[in-house]
A and B are shown apart, each in its own frame.
Chain A
C-alpha cells in the first residue's frame, strides 16, 4: 500500500526557514510525480508545488515562487520542500501527495503543521 509521511513542521518566526520532508513507502518516487498542497487553518486546499518523476519538471504557485524549493531524493525515496522567507500567510498544514504526471493526487500524507509567528 502506498503511504506518505511528512515531517519537519513547527513554529518559525517571520522571515525564517523550514525544510519539510515527505517519506514514501509502498512505491518508488523515481516513477512518480509529487506535489505539496497546503491548507490554512479552517480554510480550503491550495496547491503549492509539483516535481516530476525525473525531477526535470518543477512548478510552483505564484504565492511561493522564489521562496520555496521542491526537490526529490530517489535513493531516500523522499521529497522535500525548502521554505525560506516565511510569512504569516504561509501558516498551514502542508501535505505531500503523489500524482501520475500532473493529474489527480493520491495518496496524501497525514500533513505537517507549519506556524509562522513571532
Chain B
C-alpha cells in the first residue's frame, strides 16, 4: 500500500499569505496525485488533478507541482474562504489512498 504523508498537519495563516502543503509518497507514483479541499460539513472538492493540472472553476491561486514521491499544493494569497482541510490522493495503485490531511486556519 502506498502511504501518503502530508505536512504540516496544521497551519495558521494570515490572509494574503502564501500556503505550501507537502505530500510525500512512500514510493514513486509518477504524477497520479490529486488534491482536494474539504470545508467543514461539506464533501471534498477536487482542486488539482495529475499533480499540476488545474480544474475549471477552481481559483487560480491554487496550484500544484511535483512528481515521483514529492508533491506540493500552493495557495497564493490566501483568502478567508480557503479555511479548510486539504487532502492529497494517489491513484497509481490499489488500494487508492489519501494523505492524513492538512488543516488550514485563518488567523
If A102-B96, A106-B55 touch, whether A44 touches B101 (CB-CB below 8 Å) is yes
Contact yes or no, B100 A50, CB < 8 A = no
A80 at the interface (CB under 8 A from B): no
Contact yes or no, B91 A44, CB < 8 A = no
Segment 87-118 of A: residues with Cβ below 8 Å from B: 95, 97, 99, 102-111
- Give Cα A86–Cα B100 distance, bound, in whole angstroms: 24
DSSP majority for the B interface?
Answer: loop
Contact yes or no, B95 A110, CB < 8 A = no
A11 at the interface (CB under 8 A from B): no
DSSP majority for the A interface?
Answer: loop
Min CB distance A48 to B, Å, is: 9
- Give Cα A103–Cα B43 distance, bound, in whole angstroms: 18
Residue of A nearest to B44 (CB): A108
B24 at the interface (CB under 8 A from A): no
Min CB distance B100 to A, Å, is: 5
Segment 25-53 of A: residues with Cβ below 8 Å from B: 35, 44-47, 50
- Give Cα A61–Cα B55 distance, bound, in whole angstroms: 28
Contact yes or no, B32 A44, CB < 8 A = no
Contact yes or no, A95 B43, CB < 8 A = yes
Contact yes or no, B91 A95, CB < 8 A = no
Segment 53-107 of B: residues with Cβ below 8 Å from A: 55, 87, 89, 91, 94-101
Q: Which 8 A-B pairs have the closest CB atoms?
A: A106-B46, A108-B43, A104-B34, A47-B96, A45-B98, A104-B49, A44-B101, A103-B91
Of the A-B pairs whose beta carbons lie under 8 Å apart in the complex, a sample of 6, sorted by A's number, is A44-B99, A45-B89, A47-B95, A47-B97, A104-B91, A106-B49
